[in-house]
Amino acid sequence: MPYSIQHINSCLSTGKTMLFPATIEHLLIDSRSLLFPATTLFFAIRTSQNDGHHYIPELYQRGVRNFIISQEIDERKYEGSNFLKVNDVVHALQTIAKDHRSHFNYPVIGITGSNGKTIVKEWLYQLLENKFKIIRSPRSYNSQIGVPLSVWEMSSKHDLAIFEAGVSQQGEMNALTFMIQPSIGIITSLGTAHQEGFDSIQQKWKEKWLLCSHSKTVIVNADDLIANDISIPEKMEDQEIILWGKSQFANFKIVSEQNLQQNTYLKASYQDQLLSLTIPFTDKVSIQNAITCWVTLLHLNIPVMEIQAKMNQLTHLDMRMQIKKGNQNCLLLNDSYSNDIHSLQLALEYAQQQAGNLSLTLILSDLYEQQKGTVNYSVLLNTISRFHIKKFIVIGPQLSAAIAPHQDLKISELFCFQNVNEFEQKMDLQSFRDEFILIKGSRIFALEKINALLQLQTHETKVEINLTALVANYKKVKKTIGAKVKVMAMVKAFGYGAGSVEVARVLQFHHVDYLAVAYTDEGIALRQSGIHIPIMVMNVDASSFDALIKYQLEPEIFSFQLLNQFYHFIRAQGILGFPIHLKLNTGMNRLGFDMHEIPALAEVIQEMPSLKVQSIFSHLSASGQAAYLDFTQSQLSQFKASAFELEQSMGYVSLKHIANSGAILMHPQYHLDMVRLGIGLYGIGEKSFGWENVIQLTTTISQIRKLPAGSFVGYNRAGLLHQDSVIATVRLGYADGYHRKLGKGKGAMWVHGKLAPTVGDICMDMTMIDVTNIAEVKEGDTVEVFGKNVSIDQMATWAETIPYEILTSIGQRVKRIYIQD
């Protein structure tokens, strides 16, 4: 729904009178996501890590002419542009969304709660998509910024909206409520998530209730209220509150709940009727979410038989975009989470970010909205054309027909198939090579078959790397150190086992300042994968000098011999000012110029114009140990004095850094100009900092056998059973990085909510665990080696080593899966 810039200006009451004519259709907060510059309004949001005002020149060059700002701009530099100055850019975004919301009168469902918001939203979409034309929040767009962007997508072609609202502290819900203005309010559950932002669970409830306070209908778990000692809210006049649960206060009363293998049979009493429903889940959380959906559908007058039929089709949702390795150096991004134009754009943005030097391939089915005739084909194809897609594979008759008139698509390879079976019969699978493949489409087309055809087949042990959590750890560090301090991210040793290239791509996207690798080969791999930000190489020798220049890699220089070798090589090439990094030894006694060598180094380096000292740094040997705080302080003092002496001699200032992950948390005095973020990036370190877990290693059970007491298990008869036991063999061994020290019960794995100790020696490819006292274990079940329930720290303690070794020991044959929440 387009608006004039004059209308936007009126909404914000800026008082500006002179404006160039402009029509606004798109809101932008991230310069990297620009698609339609002429009709885009950019919001220059300032945070502790970034400032949107810095991107105005770039966006102007790319065609954007309308901006919301909070600081003075020299408008003379931006001919033909409109700058609307406000006190709070985020508030302006919310004000515009609120105004947009006021133009629509169809039902709006607002969902809040500690857990289950996104699941309920997506299940409601699945259950109602054949009845309504629905606009909903993409993924987890439930924040102060995500909600207005979601609301902005409302249009007259929809007749139902479903939005999430998430809050982490008191005072946040008011703004979300005014934007969403739900006619139906849902509170899914109350839990401990974000509890640190509230004084009590009751205070959190009051904050979440604000979303529903003016809704005509409110749906709440009554048992949740009773369990948390929360009073039933007094309803407004003409407001209906549906309290579901088993408690006496429920007016939608769950009479019985019976497990039937993989299903749960429910009976409920509501409005003097006895209702029943079978749902395809048995776990408590899914049952609660399904009941919430059941109540909502009944309120919307969906026939009982239709509800049962749709419920049968519900599945557990994996709400994360996963990157997996495909055949012939391909990467696969299977995003079947949602299938509308907006979510396609988000997925394409992420795919283009992660693709690096791989060509981009899109496999897209008919969208569900297309089957109902509500998709604007021109908008869909225009969206696709704005990305650098080399190969476009269409599955489905509607999209195939829509593409026929659009021969101007700048796509090298275009293939159209009526269904997946035709793709399987006619597509040459060997033609997929060196590609980043995005698979997106409706569930009815079963695109998971294509995913299975293209995915690299490996054993069922896998490492999941949560890139969203990794970025969250990076942002927490940025917030801690402040905007002026740079970050060098350590991606050496295959990114601590997480995969250097994939980690580097996401960090580059989020504007990390530097990367560091151990060896030149690692830096070359990053450059060949499209990483262009500065990279420091920590271990170089003369044989790699050519490659350093060719791939613009910056060496760490730690000795006079290496300094002289590199200087003469660079000088012979006629290069001036090639960046290097000087390593000083302040007590680690591993690599670096010793303190007594600093005067000589200062004298030599000033006579080397072919080199530019980009940074001076040192390494703390015991930053994480309070017992050595005095020694750490002496290292810092020596380093600062030596760096000052070098800079005085060079005549210019270099970046200075000494803080590793442990020192970042100690005191701002260690931050200097830049910090080096290593193991903390992956969620390992001082627990009080709130690191998020990034890496999880899982495997599966290949076989289960019952053995009598007195039996032996494994090589060398090392596992003697003292009682009748149930032993599971899992697909993981020391060749995968599972240390042999973890055998004979020293280590354990997490199975169905309990620890299962190892039995006998660890084998090369397998490990045996004791599951005697764990119920319902079966072959094929997933086993957590470390992650959410078994920490890497705990596993390292069992193995008598450190978390670094655990991570870097994970074998290359273990499949890496990259997850974006």
Taking the C-alpha atoms of residue 555 and residue 366, their distance in angstroms, rounded to an integer, is 51
Residue 770 φ/ψ, nearest 5 degrees? -95, 115
Taking the C-alpha atoms of residue 792 and residue 697, their distance in angstroms, rounded to an integer, is 10
Taking the C-alpha atoms of residue 473 and residue 477, their distance in angstroms, rounded to an integer, is 6
Taking the C-alpha atoms of residue 237 and residue 187, their distance in angstroms, rounded to an integer, is 20
664 touches 654 (CB < 8 A): no
Taking the C-alpha atoms of residue 583 and residue 14, their distance in angstroms, rounded to an integer, is 53
What residues are paired with 719 via a beta bridge?
Answer: 713
Nearest to 783 by CA among 755, 814, 817: 755
Taking the C-alpha atoms of residue 278 and residue 649, their distance in angstroms, rounded to an integer, is 79
Which tokens go with 660? Answer: 């590793």
DSSP string, 663-731: HHTT-GGGTTTEEEE-GGGGT-S-GGG-PPP-EEEEEEEEEEEEE-TT-EESGGG-EE-SS-EEEEEES
Strand arrangement, sheet containing 40-43: 26-28, 40-43, 66-69, 82-85
Write the secondary structure of 271-309 as one string of H (helix), E (strand) and C (coil): CCEEEEEEECCCCHHHHHHHHHHHHHHHHCCCCHHHHHH
Taking the C-alpha atoms of residue 154 and residue 750, their distance in angstroms, rounded to an integer, is 44
Residue 603 φ/ψ, nearest 5 degrees? -70, -40
Question: Measuring CA to CA, how many Å separate 342 from each of 143, 393, 406, 795?
Answer: 18, 19, 20, 42
The answer to whether 265 is a known catalytic residue is: no
Greatest Cα pair distance in the chain: 93
Which tokens go with 611? Answer: 């080199």
Q: Are strands 40-43 and 66-69 parallel, antiparallel or unpaired?
A: parallel
1 touches 100 (CB < 8 A): yes
Nearest to 29 by CA among 78, 97, 75: 97
Q: Exposed, middle or buried: residue 383 (CB in 10 Å: 0-12, 13-18, 19+)?
A: middle
Q: Are strands 66-69 and 82-85 parallel, antiparallel or unpaired?
A: parallel
Catalytic hit among 284, 550, 715, 778:
715
Which tokens go with 144? Answer: 């102060």
Taking the C-alpha atoms of residue 408 and residue 92, their distance in angstroms, rounded to an integer, is 38
Catalytic hit among 208, 492, 583, 656:
492
Q: Virtual CA dihedral for 694, 695, 696, 699, nearest 10 degrees?
A: 150
- For residue 238, give every residue at least 6 positions away whose Cβ sits within 8 Å of its Cβ, in sequence order, or none: 216
537 touches 517 (CB < 8 A): yes
Taking the C-alpha atoms of residue 24 and residue 41, their distance in angstroms, rounded to an integer, is 6
Half-sphere exposure of 792 (CA within 13 A, CB side): 28
The answer to whether 715 is a known catalytic residue is: yes
222 touches 231 (CB < 8 A): no
Reported residue count of the chain is 821
Taking the C-alpha atoms of residue 116 and residue 127, their distance in angstroms, rounded to an integer, is 16
- Residues belonging to the active site: 492, 715
